[in-house]
Structure 1
């Protein structure tokens, strides 16, 4: 169920980014054609510019109707819900502590309660999303049951190694990647803005009176800013770094000072740190 939703989320994310990239590229090329049409007094370039602006509008309408971003976020939330609940079930964390009656039935109930709000906004479960094991609880795999019956020390080691350390590596990599992308795009937009300023000054002083490139360069800079806002490089770099730091602290707590009696709550707190909602909340302050 996680894998199918994860794949749908990746597909929708790629579709959303491709559509936005196409829309921004059409706007930029249309502006370039308009600039050349003004310079050479070309009716053909003017018509081409108008056509490209029209295609930009059509692309925007298609983006709105496809709702790729909304579907991407819904499938991503579903995938993370499934993964988090599965880990909590396996290691006796959160609502599944040692001794809880009917943990399988509780897992099914918790999963349905978490997915119900997503269904209300249009999320549909992929047909390949459920397992084909126990017909009563098809979401619970054999591997999940195998981990759940292990002793506390074994479950703790599995959780630290395969969940916490894995996520630490992921957040570290994404923080570095987002920081580099933010720095690259910021430098590019600053450069384009300075070039637009230089072009405007050159035209106003008569050095390049026959060319008006300031509008095209300003449009290119605006395109870079819009792409950065779409990819959220700055806020995600900030959020991923904060999650990584908090998760490293939590890893030490889990490994050294979390007794079995407090284990379920400590795991729940750790899973909360890794939730998409927590990352989005942090990203709002990193913009």
Structure 2
């Protein structure tokens, strides 16, 4: 029986439980990774300031403080390496996006899950297990068998909400996909492009300002105006830390990548809502999912670096 009407709104409750789990784990690991880098750079700056103070004051206490801060910076780096928060973040994010993309294609008859497929549930299980098998090779840990995992198996990742959407008419599925998937991703990429651009401008300004001040400090020290204060070294360390932070956050390349994806996705959204027929719907959905995949973003980031 076909259920009509586009009133269904797809949220996390309708998506595979394993997606929800991996999405939360990815966010937690992302926060941990960023926090670790920020902490390490902060301690490095404090150590540099303490070393500059020790040189100026000829103080053994300040030198000891600088040594302790450098040791803490090293310890934080070793702890971060052992935790591998960034690697786990990327693995969980890849798993989450794989599940989400397959779920949407299953729901709206997109990609390989077109209307002519006789056993979409079996195909979903096969495709998902194939993708997860590849992720296990790079260190992703399957949580389905753990106490806090999600779901009991691959087929168990197909929720009643997903089946309800798949049972709807083409017009209803099209409206749901354009509204809850394409438009949501379009807004997300637009917001992220704007945020990355603002951050890129802000941190580039900070780097340029610190570099200019370091140049001025070096000239003043050469002229004997500021004595033996190593202000230039401290400012140079600050500029280097700002550059390192930009490399970690990838503000400029992400601005480039997200802007291009937003443009391409908007063009496809218009076509899918006007000219794409039911016969070409599966291919159009596959193209939309390709545009919003992490692999496509990473590919564009390399050109924006």
The two structures have a TM-score, normalised by structure 2, of 0.91
Q: Does residue 67 of the first structure (1) align with residue 67 of the second (2)?
A: no
| Residue 131 (structure 1) shift | 3.6
- CA contact 2:128–2:154 (8 Å) conserved in 1: no
1:77 matched residue in structure 2: 94
- The partner residue of 2:104 within 82, 87, 111 is 87
The Cα of 1:210 is off from its aligned counterpart by 3.1
C-alpha RMSD over aligned residues: 1.1
Aligned pair 1:188/2:199, yes or no? no
Q: Write out aligned runs for 1:170-185 (5 A).
A: 170-185=188-203
Matched, 1:130 2:150: yes
Q: What's 2:269 paired with? A: 251
Separation of aligned partners in 1, 2:251 and 2:228: 38
1:190-247 CA distances to partner (integer Å, 9 max, x unpaired)? 1010010000000001111232200000000100110011011111111111100000
Of the three residues 127, 140, 144, the one matched with 1:110 is 127
Equivalent residue in structure 2 for 1:29, among 22, 46, 69: 46
Per the alignment, residue 20 of structure 2 pairs with 3
CA contact (8 A) 2:125 2:154 kept: no
Shift of 1:136: 7.5
Aligned partner of 1:227 among 223, 245, 249: 245
Query: Where do 1:190-209 residues align within 5 Å?
Result: 190-209=208-227
Report how many residues are paired: 285
Write the distance in 2 (CA, Å) between the matches of 1:252 and 1:197.
52
Runs of 4+ displaced beyond 2 Å: 125-132
Q: CA deviation at 1:129?
A: 4.5
Aligned-residue offset at 1:121: 1.6
The normalised TM-score by structure 1 is 0.97
Unpaired segments of 5 or more residues in structure 1? none
Q: In 1, distance between residues paired with 2:289 and 2:228? A: 61
1-structure distance, mates of 2:121, 2:248: 40
Structure 2: runs of 5 or more not aligned: 1-17
Q: Which residue of 2 aligns with 1:275?
A: 293
